Amino acid sequence: MPLPMFSVSSRQTYAAVWLRKQLVDPNWSSSIGAAAFVVFVASTFLVRGHAVPVAMIVVMTLVALSSGVAQGAFRRNAWLWLFGIFFSAWTLLGTVAGGPGYNISDFFNLVLLGAFFLSLSQVSRALSTRQILCIIAVAGGISALASIVLHFVSSGDLFDRLSPLGRGRNPIPGAGGLAVALIAFAALWLERAPGRRIEALHVALAFMLLVALAWTQSRAPILSLCLALPLAWWLEKRGGTTAVLVACGGVWLFITGLGLLEPVIKAMVCKGDANWCRPALRTEIWGWVRDQILLHPALGTGPSFRFQKVWMSHPHNGIFGIAMYYGLPALVAFGAMIGFYARELTRLGDRSLRYFGLASIVFSFGYMGTDLSNPFAFFNMHYLFLWLPCLLVLASKEAGARGEEKAALGGSDELRRI
């Protein structure tokens, strides 16, 4: 009996055909997308580098392109892609025009954001809202516990600021990551499953997150979260597009105002400059930002521009930062983009995801009151609390529409999990 003969090239061909068949199979693409999302969230909360999370975005995007989800994502939410094209063209214009702080890498940062949206379209197809929120909440809880343990091992000083694990490895962006995990817990609590054990686990993990968040001593993220949770609860029940925008703007103004009034507040409640009373120096920085906006009102300075101060090199305010880095027209475009998103968010039928989106966008604007100078920067913790909720809301809307179309044709219910 003759033995079958296979060359190396034929084995590679068979392997390529097999892999392609698995990727276009709905079950396999969903499994790969779900696994990649778990790794993405876990690595963002636990690993300092960006290589693994960015690699997972690429994997999820490729799966979305192979499974056909990306085509639907391109067709729907066309306004989002128009804004993406605008910011990409604006960045390229700044690069060509010779802006002092523009770099071609800034364009690729926007490409990564577009890929992130496609990847979340695949995730929304593979996982339910509850599963997504559980993954974020549990990963954040594990990160909080591990951060506290490592803090004691390395320092042991109760008064030292906690630097949470994860991409940020800094008290301020780390606090943003812990905050979005708490927001996910709050969204899960709205429609919690019965059972004392589940509730006890929720309470334990939420308590761990609260302790870690307080330990970061990051004042603006903590205040923003305290405002975002109740405001989102009210907006989820009664708020419309205008109310969402007013809430976002109001929280940003409140946190920014506290930065301006810092000297007065410190004189009333502080006796030194340690821990919670440490100087923020925002007033001085924002004076420099104002000067740069007046010098470059149209195209801005470019995102790579830095102040010549080692202790404070960037604007430390999201709205001021967009105006300084990209110019006033780009700030108007960003505001319009948020307005379109708020309209879509208030129309969302999924209550848990709607609350998660509302609390996250309000929190993000509060966070931008003293930090997150460039929301379009390369991958960092702001992907979790700003872009992930926004893009997930839009992606789930697209996935839900696809599921309804398939159900009308007599297909399965797989695409209607959210």
Under 8 Å between Cβ of 234 and 250: no
Show the CA angle centred on residue 90, arms to residues 89 and 91, nearest 5°.
90
| CA 22 vs CA 18, 19, 115, 327, 336: distances in Å | 6, 5, 21, 46, 40
Say which residues have a Cβ less than 8 Å from residue 71's Cβ, sequence separation at least 6.
Answer: none
Give the C-alpha separation, 368 to 374, whole Å.
Answer: 9
The structure tokens listed for 198 are 């589940």
Question: Identity (one letter) of the amino acid at 334?
Answer: F
- Tens digit of pLDDT at every position of the chain (418 positions): 444 443 444 545 655 554 555 455 556 778 888 999 999 999 999 998 899 999 999 999 999 888 888 777 777 788 888 999 999 999 999 988 877 888 888 899 999 999 999 899 889 888 888 899 999 999 999 999 999 988 888 866 677 888 889 887 788 888 999 999 999 999 988 876 555 666 677 788 888 899 999 998 888 899 999 999 999 999 988 878 999 999 999 999 999 998 888 777 777 777 766 665 666 677 888 888 999 999 999 999 999 888 876 667 788 899 999 999 999 999 999 999 999 999 999 888 888 999 999 999 999 999 999 889 999 999 989 999 999 999 899 887 644 444 444 434 343 343 333 3
* pTM of this structure: 0.85
Rounded alpha-carbon distances, angstroms, from residue 362 to 62, 322, 365, 402: 31, 18, 5, 29
Go through the chain and tell me how many residues it has: 418
What is the spatial distance between Cα 383 and Cα 389, in angstroms, rounded to a whole number?
Answer: 9
For 56-70, give the DSSP string.
HHHHHHHHHHHHTHH
Give residue-wise pLDDT tens across range 216-251: 888 889 999 999 999 999 998 887 899 999 999 999
Euclidean distance between CA atoms 52 and 59, whole angstroms: 10
Q: What residue has token string 């930062």? A: 321
CA count, 13 A, side-chain hemisphere, 286: 17
Two tokens, residue 220: 């603006």
* Closest among 280, 270, 320 to 300, alpha carbons compared: 320
Supply φ then ψ for residue 401, to 5 degrees: -65, -40
Q: Which two tokens stand for residue 180?
A: 């979005």
Rounded Cα gap, residues 301 and 335, in angstroms: 19
Alpha-carbon dihedral sign for residues 221, 224, 229, 232: negative
Helix, strand, coil percent values for the chain (each to nearest 5):
75, 0, 25
Token code pair at residue 222: 């903590």
